[in-house]
Amino acid sequence: MTDSRIPADLPDHIQHYIDGAFVDSVDGDTFDVLDPVTNQTYTTAAAGKKADIELAVAAATRAFNEGPWPRMLPRERSRVLHRIADIVESRDARLAELESYDSGLPITQALGQARRAAENFRFFADLIVAQSDDAFKVPGKQMNYVNRKPIGVAGLITPWNTPFMLESWKLGPALATGNTVVLKPAEFTPLSASLWAGIFEEAGLPKGVFNLVNGLGEDAGDALVKHPDVPLISFTGESRTGQIIFGNAAPFLKGLSMELGGKSPAVVFADADLEAAVDATIFGVFSLNGERCTAGSRILVERSIYEEFVERYAAQAKRVKVGYPHDPATEVGALVHPEHYDKVMSYVEIGKREGRLVAGGGRPEGFEAGNFVAPTVFADVSPDARIFQEEIFGPVVAITPFDSDEEALSLANNTKYGLAAYIWTNDLKRAHNFAQSVEAGMVWLNSNNVRDLRTPFGGVKASGLGHEGGYRSIDFYTDQQSVHITLAAHSHNPTFGKN
């Protein structure tokens, strides 16, 4: 009997893609890929190491130095990127099916991520054609202009939460600007990444421009960061790994863009629309199984509405539908991997000592196997609690009361992270003053995490280094060369050594 939740035509083995060909690792090594619902191995993947990274970088370097891609007109590259977006859109159901199976994400949310991936390519396809560079004139004396140039081989290291979409977020601007790439996807979720090669070939991307090496971070990722011919590293992942990458890239003075961890506050004032705030903060921490860097995982609530908020929030959290990832009714699926499940469950046990458990707290009923965690809510959490301070990256939230605007701001800023913040109030002055004082790279007022691709994306403190999104991505993936032209009839150079 066929299991209806298993996608058809799953690969028996996932290979690297180097210089236009699918290949195994030089040493033949592989690693197991698990289905998060059963934690059983469903395929193997080639385990890349330094030798495989060297082959991929050599191919990308040749494509950059000798191939047509960096020398194409922006409009020509744009056409290829639009074809990529068209193909991704046309295959969104298949992409979502594979992503959901591989990562445990609910199928409806995986479908949304596939469509966002197409939009990322479409956005940068348009941006490079519309892009204008600066020019500065000193009338009658000098003309200066900026010439943007692709840098070379970009090393892209991506995480296992919404992997296909987050890969597109880096691949789109890196390719649009004329660079070549080596992608190292997360080892937990290599399945959807393996589809990029066929999509790019069909869209007409030249051979060697895109290369993919699977493998563990400490092997393939480390070799990519340390490779002297990779001048750029874009990384999304946890802050500790970011610190290691920062140190390993330092001797080569590489360009770094790192979007790291978060412990983002959602601040709910007494004058907020309570129903909208509850809905948004439920979605903000339990969507994508809670495995999202921008999750509003600390909810700070003004004391006069605190008990009502906690009661309504806990009741709604208990109604969140936990289910199998392939079921369209599922709102929270299975966490990605047993290692991560164990980490999240350890925080749930810590939380039982640090706060008042008002929802969840263990496995949901009816799910005795797999990486399922019931949406878990802790109230009355102290600011020095580990579940208040540390990133859990799962469907677990801490709720804490405050008595004044000053206390709310102090609590919001009281972690090492600074990625996102969400503020709920109908006081216009308070909203803007609080937004400008909170230590976060991105702030949403009376809104959930709604992305505008033109805006900078990134964090402060331990949440990141640099920004991507819109022209910030163009800045990261290009060198900006200043060209100066003298217009004066006579040179004004100082003269040395003249009699």
DSSP label at 62? H
Catalytic hit among 259, 291, 391, 439: 259
Cβ atoms of 174 and 150 closer than 8 Å: no
The CA distance from 281 to 313, in Å, is 9
75: three-class secondary structure by DSSP: helix
Distances (CA, A) of 472 to 81, 168, 258: 19, 16, 13
At residue 315, φ and ψ (nearest 5 deg) are -65, -40
Cβ atoms of 156 and 184 closer than 8 Å: yes
Contacts of 341 (CB under 8 A, 6+ apart): 335, 371, 373
Both tokens of 102, joined, read 């591989």
b/e burial code for range 113-124 (CB count within 10 A of at least 16 → b): bbbbbbbbbbbb
Residue 293 is among the residues annotated as catalytic for this protein: yes
The CA distance from 6 to 424, in Å, is 41
Residue 89 is among the residues annotated as catalytic for this protein: no
Both tokens of 49, joined, read 């190491």
Catalytic hit among 97, 99, 187, 293: 293
Amino acid letter, residue 80: V
The CA distance from 456 to 18, in Å, is 32
Contacts of 54 (CB under 8 A, 6+ apart): 223, 227
120: three-class secondary structure by DSSP: helix
Q: Which regions of 318-406 does DSSP assign to beta strands (E)?
A: 356-359, 376-379, 396-402
Cβ atoms of 478 and 175 closer than 8 Å: no
Indicate which residues carry an active-site annotation: 259, 293
